[in-house]
Structures are given as C-alpha cells and as structure tokens.
Structure 1
Amino acid sequence: MELSKVSVRNGLKPRPEPYWQKLGSGRALGYRQGKTGGSWVARHYDSAQSRKLQSKLGDFGQLPATDRYAAALEAARRWFERLDKGGMARDITVQVACEQYAATRPDAAKRFNRYVYNHSFAKIPLSKLTDHHVATWRNQLERTPALISRSKKGEPVTRARSPATINRDIAPVRAALNRAFRGRAVLEDHAWKFAL
C-alpha cells in the first residue's frame, strides 16, 4: 500500500491493525487509521530470533498532512538503524534509565527524586536527548541552593551549591546514563559525555 499520499490515508477505514507499506526486506512502515486521525508505526522482522518488533512513531500532528509521511519514514529509518547497530527496540526515557540504575542504589534514588524526576529532562527519550537538554538541567541544578539546615523550626538555611556538591548530585545521573549506553538502550553518549 502507498501511504505517502494524504488522499490515500484519508480514504482508509478505521481499524486497530495498521495498513502496511513495505520498505525493504523485513521492514515496513504502518499507518493506523483511527476515528479522529491516524498514527504511524514501524515494523521490523528479526530473522535471527524469528520475531516481529514494532515501534510506535507518533502521529506527527504538528506537521502539515503532506509532510507527515516523510517524517514517519525518517523516524522509522532511525529506528531500523538503531536495531541494525544492536540497539534496543524500545526507547527509554532519562527517568527509566535512572530508575533502573537506582533499583539497587538507595542513595542515587534519593538524589533522582530530588533533582531528576520532577524535571522535564526526565521525560526525554534517550535517543532524543541532546547536550542542550543536559546542559539546561545541569545549569538549573547549579542554581538550586543547597539545603544546610533541615530544622522544622524556622526558615530553612541554604547556601550556594559548591562544585563538589554539584558533582555528587550529577555523578549518579552520569552513571545511570552510562549504564543505559552500555546496555545498548542508546547508541551514542555525546549528549552527556561533556555536559556532565
């Protein structure tokens, strides 16, 4: 099926199973037509393990309808490339990488709860993480005052965060991202290699 034409996609009947367009051996781009719009999905057949892998690509609703096919095709190609290089089929977020790392490290879990999980940085998929995202998070952490007094009486006492405190707070984040990189959840570490 040719999914590049808007008129073809608009004429599809809504159904849970995507309409597929073959891209190559074991690769396809799918379009799932819903009642109020459609979304894109990629499919890869792993012949070594005799299994089909799928990745939801999104609806690309922010783009004009004429540009959505090209955007979906590019997203599918990036996913296929990641699989070809031995990467994981499912993209994980910074938060998931931190949660996996913190599963056996309670001290790291406390720092993640304070400085990572409540930040928009945590919701970014690792494959879309840039050095700008990481630097923005680090700059915000550097500006966050360090709490000196935890007394329940009176105002909390804070001071400017020292370089040593900043390093202690970012070290577990760096370790969590490096662990995800070694586990092939992401194929490049340039986003945090220098920013952290």
Structure 2
Amino acid sequence: MAKPRNYSLETPTARLKLDIRKKPHWQRLGPGLSLGYRRNEGAGTWSIRAADGQGGEWLKKFGIADDFAKADGKAVFNYGQAVTEARKLVRGGDEDEVEEEQGNKPVTLGIAMDRYKDDLVSRGAGASNATTPKGHLPAALLSKPVPLLDSQELRKWRDGMLAKMAPASVNRYCKVIKAALNLAAKADRRIKNEHAWTTGLQLLPDANEVNNVILTNPQVIRFVGAAYAHDAKLGELTDVLAQSGARPSQAARLYVRDLIAHKTEPRLMMPKSAKGGGLNRTSKKVERYSVHITPALAERLAKAAKGRPASAPLLVRSNGKTWGVDGKGVSDDYREDVAEVVKAIGLDPDEVTLYALRHSSIVRNLLLNIPIRVVAASHNTSVAEIERTYSKFITEHSGNLSRRALLDHEAPQPADNVVPMAA
C-alpha cells in the first residue's frame, strides 16, 4: 500500500527543521490510526495513536527516527519504515496485506483475554475466571496490541484497582491477566515483551492476609433458616454448604445420583473443585469424595429430586435452572438473594457470604479436635492450606491436646491448716 506523503516528516533534513516540542507531529495512516513524530533535542521518536473503539484512543512510542543514525528497521526507522511498522503493530500490515492474511494481525489484550477464557472452558474451568477480570480493564488497554503493552500502564491499572477492591482480589486479577498474556505470547513468537506484565502486574506484597468470617453455630442455624424462608431452593443450597463445608461451585455440580439417602448415615458424593489449575481440571472435577449430611436434609433433597433422572442436577434454582449457567459464575445467581438473607439475620452482607459457611465448618471441625488431615480431606483442601488459613484455630486446637500431655512434677504443697502429727 502506498505511503502517505508528508514532506515535513519524510527525511531527516526536513524533520530537523521542525520545532522541538513535546507534542508529536501527526500523519494520518487510516481510520483510527496515525503516525506521530516527536522532535527532540537529540534523535526524534516515532509513535502510534490508535482508536480504542470506545470513543477514546491510546498512544505508544515504538522506535527512534533516523535523524542521526542509519535506519535498521528494528530500533531506528526512516519514515517509510515507521509507516509500515505502525500498520503492522496495530493491524498486522498494510491494509491490502491484512485483508489476505488476517491471521497475522497482532492480538490485543482484549482478544488475549477472550482466548484465555476459551482455553479455561476447554479445560473444564469457569469462563467467569477470565470474564470478571476483563470487565475491570479499560477500553484503552483492551484495544492495545499485546506487543505494545508496557509495564508502566499495567502498573498504573493495578495500583488504581486498590481503590475498588482488596489487595488480595487485585492479585487474583493480576494472575489471570498474566496467564492470558503468557498464553498469547506462547502462541505468537512476535510477542517478546513479557517484562511488561511480569513487572507491571507484579503481585502486591502482604496481600494474602486471611480475613475469613467465622460464624457461631447459632448464626449458621439462623443463616440456613433465613435462606429457606427467603427461597426454598436457595435454602437447599445453603443447607448443603453449611453441612458439607463445600464451595458453592462444587455443590452446584452435584447430580441426583450423588445423593446417598441412607436412613441413618446419608451422605453426598461431592465433586472435587479442581482448584490449582493445570491441564487436568476436567478429570479432577469428575472425582468425588464423601461428605456426611443429616437425615433431615437427605430426605428433603430426595423429595425435591423425585422424578428427575440420575444425571440431572441435584440442586436447582426456583426457575429450574442450574446454579451458574448462561456463562455466569455460581455466585452471580445468588449474590443479591444471599445479601438479603444476611441482612435479615442482622449481619453485614459486605462481610458475610456463603463462603462463611465453609470457613465456619472447617473451624467447627478443628475445635471438635478432629485431626487436621481429616478436616482437610472432608473439605477438599490440603493440610498446608488449613494450616495457613486457620492457624489461629489450630493453635487453640493443638493447645487443648498438648495440655493433656503436661507432666506436673511439682510435689503438692500441704495446706496451711494441716498440722503434722507427732511420731
């Protein structure tokens, strides 16, 4: 494609006649794309200005002008090379080339997030793990080609998120975005700026302080009762979580056949969570482990599931749909209702969620002196995670046990009112 003529930018001699200033001199290359030249005291620089598709735009410096050094097409560009490079970075090449070779177009951050979502789904993970963080990224970043991302803009986004959420949540989003960018770099060898996200999205220090909400037994009972009063199906989900200590995403994947409705020792075959990533998510999520429930809950669930096939979901919403369908996470289906339930029992919905039932179940087991390994296995987690997350309660638990082993070697002192008898 022909290069647009701009006599003031085409040669070093012409460019050096321009005034030194911070604002670049712009040349339009096409719809939503311009090439900029900034005149400096030394060699000038080339920049891109591109529309973000949302009414805004982004800018990115990509090379040095051949004002004093010979152009090499890699770091130093003459005018023609700068035009070609700008088009290649944003659109994959000249317009006629791109039309023939769409696959050569550099991936943007938005596309990288979408492809990562597809990758997660193919491995049995939830799409919301990618769509939720993407929703917090501005259009200017989402529309930018991955090779043009730099650490400063990513760091600015990361730090800005601290005003909206806890540091631990920011770290979770950073991990997801880095995973998406690593996947993009793995698929496209032209992406060589991994430093941009390893530095810009570096995890915040001291952000993993545990702030789990632990409910008392009476509070758990009130929580479950209020959930049933609000909505019977929400009550069933809440009851299962309170008794099993499972994660909501696990309970949502229970099938009718996972209910073992024994008269005196009923249980659920709970799906594993597949937390920890990896390539075997799907196989891990098929695995089950046994959790005990009360006969009353088993009877209620059996009655609700009567007439449904064994492969049907055990827990459903009032509209008959499974929790967490239509591309949403499980929490998207219950968040507002649970907030009302929590308010009804006099607690703060900003602090108390359904996850409080899991934390409370684990702590309840620990305080009953159930071995930590058994607690970990029955809650589909690890001993290390139990020790890291619930260390305060483990200390209380171990203190009660170790006190039994104390050896009191001090001889008992005679009482003051005891008088020794004469021999």
Aligned pairs for 1:142-181 (under 5 A) are: 142-145=162-165, 161-162=166-167, 164-181=168-185
The corresponding residue for 1:134 is 154
Deviation at 1:76, TM superposition (A): 2.6
Is the alpha carbon distance of 1:63 and 1:111 closer, same or farther for their aligned partners in structure 2, counting shifts above 3 Å?
A: same
2:131 and 2:79 map into 1 onto residues whose CA distance is: 39
> Match of 1:182, SS?
helix
Deviation at 1:125, TM superposition (A): 1.3
2:110 and 2:78 map into 1 onto residues whose CA distance is: 30
> Match of 2:29, SS?
strand
* Per-residue CA distance 1:14-70 (angstroms, 9 max, x = gap): xxxxxxxxxxxxxxxxxxxxxxx9637xxxxxxxxxxxxxxx99443x559xx9994
Gaps of 5+ in 2: 8-26, 39-45, 48-76, 94-102, 202-423
Normalising to structure 1: TM-score of the pair?
0.50
- Size of the aligned set, in residue pairs, is 127
Query: Is the CA contact (8 Å cut-off) linking 2:116 and 2:183 kept in structure 1?
Result: yes
2:170 and 2:6 map into 1 onto residues whose CA distance is: 51
> Match of 1:111, SS?
helix
Query: Is the CA contact (8 Å cut-off) linking 1:93 and 1:124 kept in structure 2?
Result: yes
The corresponding residue for 1:73 is 81
> Match of 1:39, SS?
strand
Amino acid at match of 1:188: N
1:134 and 1:71 map into 2 onto residues whose CA distance is: 29
Deviation at 1:109, TM superposition (A): 3.0
1:4 and 1:125 map into 2 onto residues whose CA distance is: 23
Amino acid at match of 1:74: A
1:119 and 1:136 map into 2 onto residues whose CA distance is: 14
2:151 and 2:162 map into 1 onto residues whose CA distance is: 16
Query: Is the CA contact (8 Å cut-off) linking 2:151 and 2:197 kept in structure 1?
Result: yes
Q: Does 1:106 align with 2:131?
A: no
The corresponding residue for 1:91 is 106
**C-alpha RMSD of matched pairs (Å):** 3.9
* Per-residue CA distance 1:150-173 (angstroms, 9 max, x = gap): xxxxxxxxxxx13x2221121111
Deviation at 1:71, TM superposition (A): 4.5
Normalising to structure 2: TM-score of the pair?
0.25
Gaps of 5+ in 1: 8-36, 41-55, 146-160
* Per-residue CA distance 1:118-157 (angstroms, 9 max, x = gap): 4432122112111111101111112213xxxxxxxxxxxx
Is the alpha carbon distance of 1:136 and 1:4 closer, same or farther for their aligned partners in structure 2, counting shifts above 3 Å?
A: same
Is the alpha carbon distance of 1:38 and 1:173 closer, same or farther for their aligned partners in structure 2, counting shifts above 3 Å?
A: closer
1:5 and 1:121 map into 2 onto residues whose CA distance is: 30
> Match of 2:135, SS?
helix
Aligned pairs for 1:8-23 (under 5 A) are: none
Is the alpha carbon distance of 1:73 and 1:139 closer, same or farther for their aligned partners in structure 2, counting shifts above 3 Å?
A: same
2:183 and 2:84 map into 1 onto residues whose CA distance is: 25
